[in-house]
Every structure is written in structure tokens, then in C-alpha cells.
Amino acid sequence: MSSPAIEFDGITKRYGRTTALDALSLRVGRGELVGLLGPNGAGKTTAVKLVLGLVRPTSGTGHVLGAPIGDRAARARIGYLPELFRYQPWLRAREVLTLHAELAGVAPGRRAAATAEALDRVGLTDRADDPVHDFSKGMQQRLGLGVALLGEPELILLDEPTSALDPVGRTDVRAIVRSARDRGATVILNSHLLTEVERVCDRVVILHRGRVIASGPLDEVVAADGVRLRVSDLDDAGRRVLAGFGPVSTDGDWLSIRPLDAARIPEVVAALVATGGRVHAVEPGRGSLEARFLELVTAPEEETA
């Protein structure tokens, strides 16, 4: 169990003249919930398909759950929701899940229960006996998510799992992903919805043109970025104190100091209070993942090389 969930060592994948992945090295530990991000064509889906053994590397090596990529036994321990999902339209939802329970190696005596559990987790219990061709796109995506969760896989790969979901569905996916992680599964979540990734992932890997341009815990990738304060009874002395910490800007009732080292926030509050200011709220500012993402992928080539 101590081998990482995914370990890629300099994997290059070319499709004809297109280089989808360029010497990608990647390590995902067991139990991590990692967001795999990047603009269209960055290589995210290709990376996921390599993990599954659906495409082979042009060069380089990789291991998944301790076995070389493509290993069939390891593949049985992976759950997968494809980006472009489609299930047999003539089957009922329950039948799709039962079929996949069998494919995932769930023991015959457990299949009905595993199917019922999956239906419940993705909110399709009351549509279980309807054929897939009657399903909306979001309902089909929920079904796909149910398929990916069957048999409690050790590694779950979700390629844009919320692309067709309404806000309730997106909240459900966050809960599903967290509970999978809580039982020890490793989850790779590939998404363009950066606010969602921010809410759920421990770590992000940002790909651009087949290379990793940023990777690490969210707080490292998106650096701490100042403080926002709501203060009343602020006099000139208070204003001078604030300006001593850094550039101050005002936004309605709120004051911001940016940049400011987060470790200095208690000092700012104490200094304000000492001048008679009344502090009602303090929010450590953090740049958004979206702002950081845009900064990284629009940077001139040489900076990201």
C-alpha cells in the first residue's frame, strides 16, 4: 500500500505531429485529492487515459497503484468517469450499474447492494428502472459517476465530472468526492470550474502545452495575498498605522492591505485597536485560483518553460 497511486516518469505522448504530453513527471500519493487543470488541449484527458492504459506513452514510464501502467489487475481497482460519457441507451440505469459491478469484480452476492448504493449516492434511486435514453445529460453524468464509484475503487479518475450538472449536482459531487477521499481513495479531478476545484482539492497540478507549469498545495500555488478588514471609529492615527503595513485600498465598508504577509495580521489588528479603531471582521485575503491560473497560462513562453 505504500507505493504512490500514480507515478509518471518523463512520459511523452505524441499523436502524429501533436505532442499532447511533453516529458510529464507526476506523483500522486495515496489518499490525495488532486485537481488536474489546464486550458483546452493542455493534455489533461491524455494524462488520465495514460493512467488507465487506454493510450500508451510514446516514451517514458509510469506506475499506477504499484503496477506498470496498463496492468489489468491494477485497472480493476480504478474508477473512471470519462469526459465524453455515453451509456447503453437501451439499458435501465440499474442494469448499467449491475453490468459495471460485474466488470469491476464485485462479488455476485454484493452486486445488487453495490448498485443500490451507487444509485443512492448519485441521487438516481427513483429513476433506477428508467432506460438511459430517457435520461437528461446531467442524469447520464450522474449515472457515470455512479459507475466510477462502484466497487470502492482505490483510485478514482473524474474527467470533468460536473460539466453537465446543475448547482445541486455540483454540491453533491463535492460531497461524493470528499467521502471517497475519507475512506482512503485517491481522487483525480479534472475540471475547468476553478472555484469548485478550490473548494475540494488538497493539491493542484496545472498543465499547459503538455507540461506541468505549477503544482503543489492550493495555498502554495495561490499565494496568500493581504488582508481585508471591516473597521469603524477609524481616525487619522489609525489610517497612518494601517498605511505603515502596506498599500491600503477601500472597498465600501472594507479596507484592504495588499500585499501583506499573513503572519502580520494579528499585529495589524492590535495596532488598529490601540488607536481606538473597532474591528468587526478580518479576512485573510487569498488570490483566487482563477486569477493565478490566468496569470500562469498567459505568461510569455520563456517564463513557463
Ligand X SMILES: Nc1ncnc2c1ncn2[C@@H]1O[C@H](COP(=O)(O)OP(=O)(O)OP(=O)(O)O)[C@@H](O)[C@H]1O
Smaller CB distance to ligand X: residue 50 or 97?
50
3, 15, 291, 298: which one binds ligand X (CB under 6 A): 15
Q: Quick check: 221 and 214 in contact, CB under 8 A? A: yes
CA distance 144 to 162: 11
Smaller CB distance to ligand X: residue 22 or 95?
22
Smaller CB distance to Mg ion: residue 83 or 152?
83
Q: Which of residues 170-189 bind ligand X (CB under 6 A)?
A: none
40, 73, 183, 251: which one binds ligand X (CB under 6 A): 40
Q: Which does 43 bind (CB under 5 to 8 A by kind): Mg ion, ligand X, none?
A: ligand X
Q: Quick check: 77 and 3 in contact, CB under 8 A? A: no
Residue carrying the nine cell digits 452476492: 109
CA distance 26 to 23: 10
Does 45 participate in binding ligand X (rule CB under 6 A)? yes
Burial class (CB in 10 A: 0-12, 13-18, 19+), 126: exposed
Binding site for Mg ion (CB under 5 A): 44-45, 83
11, 20, 104, 143: which one binds ligand X (CB under 6 A): 20
Q: Which of 64, 38, 39, 49 is nearest to 15 (CA)?
A: 49
Smaller CB distance to ligand X: residue 153 or 210?
210
Where along the sequence are the contacts to ligand X (CB under 6 A)? 15, 18, 20, 38, 40-46, 83
